[in-house]
Structure formats: structure tokens, C-alpha cells
Structure 1
Amino acid sequence: MAQEMSSRNEFVDFWNEILVPKFVRFKHVLVDGLTHHSRQVFPTLNVKPGDKVVDVGCGFGDTAIELARTVGPSGSVLGLDCCDAFLQFGRDDARAQGIENVRFVEADVQTYPFAPEHDFCFSRFGTQFFENPVIALKNMRQSLKPGGTMTMIVWRTIEDNPWLGLPKQIVADYLPPPGDDARTCGPGPFSMADPDQVRLQLKSAGYEDVEFERIDAPVLVGATPDDAVAFQLALGPAGEIYREAGEIAEQRHEQITAALKSELARYETDEGILMQSSSWKVTARSPG
């Protein structure tokens, strides 16, 4: 059963009103597209059978379900996200797969009343969007037992992620940048790309033993060039430019899509459109 959030902020509203329908439309990219990435990350996580786990910003629930398999029937997973529409996919998938040790709750991680009872706290590409990262990271730490582990996966710079950077450059050749009043989903996908800054945030939030490991892996950005173009114009940095340009984007749509398709088609494989990505696996420990 979902727990209704007592209050929302502009970023949460933006996710629910604008991004959720687009994420649902491109669920096949956002979930399946990270398969190569997950294969490098999940076998290395400090999780064992019987552990109690929190998955922060769990989205469609695929990571929470994977963690639930890892901890087994004697363990449990709590998946949190601010968008209940995402979580319903997780509930349905868990039920269909017979996974009974995972629970999905709609919540703002910055204020969720955690008990310090979990062995492991995980987030894949969720912490980058916190309105106040130190407060949220501190609350995540408070979910952990003394000595518990937190691991978050965050994108490195846009220059290290051509799957987002290249489409942005192409769209920016045709459209003006978003204005200062543009609605956003929060700080953005690259807000935790700087290890020095993130290390300070984690220290301020009370963590110890902070470590960074670079993860490079291809991501699937579409089944076909047309699918990849549609994805880029709906989400990410290119999608933000396109959305905020409004009528100008509509007027130049054919030029933009042709330019994107020409470039993205160069990355077509038997699997689909594969492009390179780079992230940090950041691990830290709760004192104790």
C-alpha cells in the first residue's frame, strides 16, 4: 500500500505532472537500457542473504526486485520513490514474479521517518535530483544500522556521457537554451559528478569511509534510430531544450529529428542504439 506524501515541492510536482508519462512511454529504454550497466554494479554490492535494504528513488522497481532476490526470503527491501505511478509497475512486476519480500512506498526521502534498522541503502541515479542533497543523504544514513553501507550510482559529467551530451549539442544547434524560469526535476543528472563536492556532502551528512569507483558501460538509448530520437526529444538535456523551446521546436522539428537520426544511427547494433556512459559508484558507511 502506498503511503501518501504529506506535502510536495515543485520538483516532485514536475516529476509527477511532466516526466512520469514520458518515463512510462520509454520504460523499455530506462529499464532495459541499463542492463549492461547493472551487470557491472550489482555483483559488487555489499548485500547478502537476510539483509534489510532500502532502495531510494527506485523508479519502476527493477532494482528493488533485484535486491530482493539477492537478500532472499529471510531479508527484505523497502523501495521508495516520489512517483507512485512508477511504483505500481514495481508492485505488479514483483507480484508477477512471486517476489514477496519487497515493499514499495511513495515518499519524499528527505523527510521519510526511517528507523535505523537497515543493513544497506542503495540508490541508482536517484540522489542527483534531491532538492537538498545533504538533508536527503543524512536521512538515508539514518535508515542504516551502525556500520551499515550506503551505495549510490550517479552520473559523471555530461562530457563523459555522450549518450546525453551528443544529442544535447545537436538540439542546441537549432534551439535557444532554456530560460531561467524553466521548470525542472531538481538539480539534474550531473549534479553529483564532482567527487570532491560529493565527498563534502557525504561528510556533512555524517558518513565515513567514502569511496568512488568509475563504472563505464554502454547504454541502450532506443530500439531503433527513430526510437532513440523520440527518447532524446522527450527526456534528458536535449529533451529539456526541446520542451522549453515550445513553438520554435515545433517549427524546426523535422530539421532536428533528421539531424539526430543521422547521428544516432551511427551507433546502431544488433541490440539497438548503444552509446557509452560513465558513472560513479559511491560507497560510504554509517559510523558505528
Structure 2
Amino acid sequence: MNQQINIEDTTSASPLVDFWNDVLAPKFIQYRHILVGGLSRHSEVVFPMLAVEKGQRILDVGCGFGDTAIELANATGPQGDVLGVDCCAAFLDHARNVADGEGVPNVRFLCRDVERGLEEPPFDMVFARFGTMFFANPVAGLRAMRICLKPGGRLAHIVWRQRADNPWLIEARDIVRRYLPPPGEDAATCGPGPFSMADETVTRAQMAAAGFEDIAFRRVDAKVMVGRDVADAIAFQLAIGPAGETFREAGRLAEEQRPEIEAALAGMFEAVIAREGGLWMDSSSWLITARNPT
């Protein structure tokens, strides 16, 4: 059993945190095979760029099922320490089980909303993969991450680039919206959304306002797995992401239109050429790095 688990995990409630725990967490758990394995090629490209050093203390924000935190723990070695934080307690149950099963003693997990701060000694590095886009207040969230760093400490976070560069999410959304209206302004939400940090100029300004220096953007193009097969890909899109949000908010109308929507999505996914143990589609992200001033 991992001896570094903190049994006092808590996170202050907020509408966004409640939405993640009550609505999205069960869906993410159901499609964990896509959300972990499907993003593996982005991690394979990015991790060698992080230049993790042995013995470093690292914070993984929005660590989800713990795969990146465990990889960071292996990279920093037994002399180092990795803390994974996420606002969804159910994700962390899976993360701990994996860490225990793989025998990774230098990683621990806490249920926290990092935007509200952490009471932890400072870190050498803060990392986040596809989590910062959902900060309710991006500047405040980024500032909270910077405060977690030692003077001169490094931040590295991965966010999706523009919609046009990510057909794996947008093509399905566009198909669904042929049949259903877009979500209204009062729709329940998980935060600003997956493309909220896609614009380099805006995000660079947010990071500068949060106090970071040496801000750099590097484009990463990699395919993502969208499902084991066509049926899996359709179910995933109707549960999570922009297409899933549209379908969920449409309620009874969505169920009435389900046969037509599923048939249209099947036509899209059947045309996907890359089939290597699943369906793989094009995607593009930013690796954004920066430094806390000394």
C-alpha cells in the first residue's frame, strides 16, 4: 500500500468542482481508456522536452487518473517527490491504485482545487496536461501555480490549440449541431472549455499577468485515439467534449434525434484511415513553458 497517501483529502465546493464530480467524473471513468491511452502520443512527444532532473519536487495539476504524475515520479527518481492534485476524488482513487500496483512510492495524490491554493513546500516544477484550460479564472489559476514554485522554478503545461487544428473534437460537434441547438448561456459547464487557451497572444498575456517570465510556446502535433472502434468513438463523443455538451443539454430532443446523429457520426468515423488498435485522428496542442522569477 502506498504509504504517502494523505487521508485528509478535501476540496472546497464550487459549481465547477461540483459539475466535474457529479456529471463528468463518471463519464471520464467510463472512457478512461481513451482519455489516458488516447493521449499517449502527446505525452511521448512532450515528456522528453521537460528535462526533469533527478531528485526534483514536482506538482502535477489536474492529474486525473495519475498517469502523468506516475511518469514524472519515475523520471525524478526515488530521491524526488511528486504530488498530483485534482478536484475529482474518483479520479484519484484510480491514480492511487495504479501507483500502488506499479510500486511507485514517491508519488502521492490530494483532492484539491489548486485555484484556491495549496499548503505545501515549494516545488521545482509545476506541470499540467490539458487541465489549465478549465480554470474558472485563468490568471488567478496560473498565479496559484506560480506561487507553488520555488524562485526560478519552472512551469510546463499542455493545452489544445485552435479548433481547426483539432478535428477529433470539432468534426463530431459540427455533426451533432446539424440536429441539435448549441448549449444556451445558462448551460451547466466544466469551465471555460478545451480551447480557452488556444490563442497564443491571449494566453501569453494571462501568464505574464500571473507573474511568469521566459514564456515560450511550442506546437505539438500528434494523433489521438478517439475510440477502440466506431461504436466506442460515437459513444465517447456523445458523452464528453463539445459534442457531448451539446447532446447533454438538448435533453429529450437529443434522444429523439439519436438514431440520425449516431448514423451521421458513424459515417465520419468509418472514414478515419488511421486504425492502429483503435481510431486515431489529428490533434494539435501547445506546450507552454515559463519560469517563476528569482
Query: 1:198 aligns to what SS in structure 2?
Result: helix
Amino acid at match of 2:55: G
The alignment yields a C-alpha RMSD, in angstroms, of 1.1
- Counterpart of 1:186 in structure 2 is 191
Which of 146, 154, 177 is the matching residue for 2:151? 146
Check if 1:16 corresponds to 2:21.
yes
Q: Distance in 1 between matches of 2:119 and 2:49?
A: 25
- Counterpart of 1:274 in structure 2 is 280
- Counterpart of 2:129 in structure 1 is 124
Query: 1:267 aligns to what SS in structure 2?
Result: coil
Amino acid at match of 1:70: A
Deviation at 1:271, TM superposition (A): 2.1
Check if 1:103 corresponds to 2:108.
yes
Segment of structure 1 superposing worse, 3-12 or 123-132? 3-12
Query: 1:119 aligns to what SS in structure 2?
Result: strand
Check if 1:286 corresponds to 2:264.
no
Query: 2:114 aligns to what SS in structure 1?
Result: coil
Which of 68, 75, 96 is the matching residue for 1:70? 75
Query: 1:110 aligns to what SS in structure 2?
Result: helix
- Counterpart of 1:33 in structure 2 is 38
Q: Distance in 2 between matches of 1:182 and 1:91?
A: 33
**TM-score relative to the length of structure 2:** 0.96
- Counterpart of 1:59 in structure 2 is 64
Q: Distance in 2 between matches of 1:226 and 1:178?
A: 24
Instruction: Indicate if the aligned counterparts of 1:3 and 1:107 stay in contact, CA closer than 8 A.
Output: no
Deviation at 1:117, TM superposition (A): 2.2
Check if 1:229 corresponds to 2:243.
no
- Counterpart of 1:90 in structure 2 is 95
Q: Distance in 1 between matches of 2:188 and 2:71?
A: 33
Amino acid at match of 2:276: D
Runs of 4+ in 1 over 6 A off after TM superposition: none
Amino acid at match of 1:18: V
Q: Distance in 2 between matches of 1:244 and 1:271?
A: 32
Instruction: Indicate if the aligned counterparts of 2:160 and 2:198 stay in contact, CA closer than 8 A.
Output: yes
Segment of structure 1 superposing worse, 259-268 or 29-38? 259-268
Gaps of 5+ in 2: 1-5
- Counterpart of 2:3 in structure 1 is none
**TM-score relative to the length of structure 1:** 0.98
Deviation at 1:227, TM superposition (A): 0.2
Deviation at 1:2, TM superposition (A): 4.6
Deviation at 1:113, TM superposition (A): 2.5
Distance 1:103 1:198, change over 3 A: same
Q: Distance in 2 between matches of 1:6 and 1:281?
A: 28
For residues 132-175 of structure 1, what are the alpha-carbon distances to aligned partners after superposition, in whole Å with 9 as ceiling and x for unaligned? Answer: 11111111111111111000000011111000010001000011
For residues 18-71 of structure 1, what are the alpha-carbon distances to aligned partners after superposition, in whole Å with 9 as ceiling and x for unaligned? Answer: 000000000000000011111101111131110000000000000000000000
Q: Distance in 1 between matches of 2:277 and 2:261?
A: 25
Check if 1:207 corresponds to 2:212.
yes
Check if 1:175 corresponds to 2:180.
yes
Gaps of 5+ in 1: none
For residues 195-218 of structure 1, what are the alpha-carbon distances to aligned partners after superposition, in whole Å with 9 as ceiling and x for unaligned? Answer: 111111111111000000000000
Amino acid at match of 2:94: F
